[in-house]
Amino acid sequence: MWKGAIQFGLVTIPIKLYTATESDYAIRFNMLHETDLSRIQMKVWCPEDEKVISRADTVKGYEYAPDQYVVITDEDLEKVPLKTVRSVEIEQFAPRDETTRQHAQFTKQAYYIEPDKIGRKAFYLLRQVLQDKELTAICKVVIRDREALAALDPYEDTMLLTTLHWPDEIRSTTELDLPAEEFDFKPAERKMAEQLVEAMTDTFDPARYKDEYREALLSVINAKVEGVEVAAPEPAAESTKIVDLMKLLEASVKAATDQKTAGSPEPVSVAEAKKERASRPAKAAASKAADAKSATRKAAAAKADEGAEEARPARRRKAS
């Protein structure tokens, strides 16, 4: 989707960019007319001529004054006097630590890089140095008519270019309603929280996770196609009581430890741990009732066998 070069000092590495993610996986809906369920069309309307026009008859325009526009063509965009229009300009190298990577929390888009044949040696030399030195290349590049800040990192057998938001695009957390006071945690609470984190800590494996919402939404869609009424789930009850944090932590640690010991691949949450603990008395009572019922049946069967044995006539012995 983009062709240019990586500028590394005086070294030019011809490359191509390919989007690293895809959105076709998402469930898409069409807009329909409610009365007859016909699919509507989005028309391009010209208010001056009061008629529908073709998209081929549209051009890009910039409003430089109220209701005053200048037309910008693709040729005009090619004339923008910036190197980054056709090159990934490496500005600096920075240690790949948390301080440098904090900006990556606000990434826009990731791109795979495919080096052209004539630039492969230089490309993989740069990749090797970044990997050995644990460095990130901070770059600037123009993609889709906008210059973006980007990070360049080794990834599998290529490199990944990740576009970032500019600093002035990131909103401040001061806009949030956050408490000013600091919380005083009891040593026992802190220790229990650390135990829970430790019990839930494991190597990240993306294959363990899936889009459960997509599957649930598909089941609702299929049910409606088949004319089956779908019952709405019961809303979670909102507790108005003060939460006993220690009890929740203890239950969570127990559940997480049990699952880790059993080798369960599913992560545990505090809500799941609380639900599991609450169900224990009911499970125990059900098990006890089942055992009592089984014992009653065995006793009745044994008594019936004894009665049948007493009622059976004695066998006569054959004369010798």
Average pLDDT over residues 162-169: 86
Q: Helices marked H in the chain — which ranges?
A: 74-78, 98-101, 120-133, 187-199, 212-225, 245-262, 270-311
Q: What is the pLDDT of residue 129?
A: 93
Q: What is the pLDDT of residue 6?
A: 86
The backbone torsions φ and ψ at residue 166, rounded to the nearest 5 degrees and listed phi first, read: -70, 150
Contact between 112 and 18 under an 8 Å Cβ cutoff? The reply is yes
Nearest to 88 by CA among 27, 147, 29, 164: 147
Q: What is the pLDDT of residue 233?
A: 76
For 2-22+78-168, CATH gives 2.40.290.10
pLDDT band at 253 (very low <50, low <70, confident <90, very high): confident
Q: Supply the pTM of this predicted model.
A: 0.61
pLDDT band at 223 (very low <50, low <70, confident <90, very high): confident
Q: Where are the domains of the chain?
A: 2-22+78-168, 184-199+244-298
Nearest to 93 by CA among 60, 57, 126, 137: 137
Any idea which of 144-148, 192-196, 278-282 has the lowest mean pLDDT?
Answer: 278-282
pLDDT digits (tens, 9 = 90+) for 205-216: 878 877 787 888
Residue 115 has pLDDT above 90, yes or no: yes
Residue 43 has pLDDT above 80, yes or no: yes
The phi-psi region of residue 116 (left if phi > 0; otherwise alpha if psi is between -120 and 50; otherwise beta) is beta
Report the C-alpha gap between 270 and 250 in whole angstroms.
Answer: 10
Q: Residue 260 to residues 67, 147, 224, 256, 267: CA-CA distances in angstroms?
A: 65, 47, 39, 6, 9
Average pLDDT over residues 45-50: 90
Number of other CB atoms surrounding residue 138 within 10 Å: 18
pLDDT digits (tens, 9 = 90+) for 298-314: 555 555 455 544 444 44
pLDDT digits (tens, 9 = 90+) for 123-140: 999 999 999 999 999 999
Report the C-alpha gap between 266 and 33 in whole angstroms.
Answer: 43
Residue 71 has pLDDT above 70, yes or no: yes
Residue 99 has pLDDT above 80, yes or no: no
pLDDT band at 238 (very low <50, low <70, confident <90, very high): low
Any idea which of 135-139, 165-169, 194-198, 295-299 has the lowest mean pLDDT?
Answer: 295-299
Q: Among all chains, which residue has been given the structure tokens 């030399």?
A: 125
Q: What is the pLDDT of residue 315?
A: 46
What is the amino acid identity at position 264?
Answer: S
